[in-house]
Amino acid sequence: MADEFYIRPEPPRDKPRAFYDLRRDVIHMPPIATFQAAQGYYGTLAHELTHWTGADKRLERFKRFNDRTAYAVEELVAEIGACMLGVQIGVEPEFDQSAAYVEGWLQAMKDDKRAIFCAASEAQKAVDYITEKASREAPAAQVAA
């Protein structure tokens, strides 16, 4: 299926990291054991899954937003989306990783006063896409079990 996502554990490194590989359309996640708590793993996965929705074959967010602030806005979309997904699945967000992006977000919002609203709107579209897809596939998974 063109709409599936794949999570592949990243090979061991000194500092494993999570990321969405747009070129290969794959979410890379470090092993859950490398996180201090399961909520960190699932919050990070929600962040990367929100990025995953931006691909051309899904919501085409990457194609539509390609200006100089696009990276900062995309990270803001992913953080907001991860928070929204976390609320739905009962995972409290951890904002300690967000600090790395704050400077970029602030610059993006200075450049465009609507950036936060755009990011929130795109995050909602991503979450709607993910939850709709999950609800369509959940009955099929129950039948297979």
pLDDT of residue 1: 44
pTM (2 d.p.): 0.84
Model confidence pLDDT, tens digit, residues 15-24 = 689 999 999 9
Average model confidence (pLDDT) across the chain: 86
DSSP character string of 74-113: HHHHHHHHHHHHHHHHT-----TTGGGGHHHHHHHHHH-T
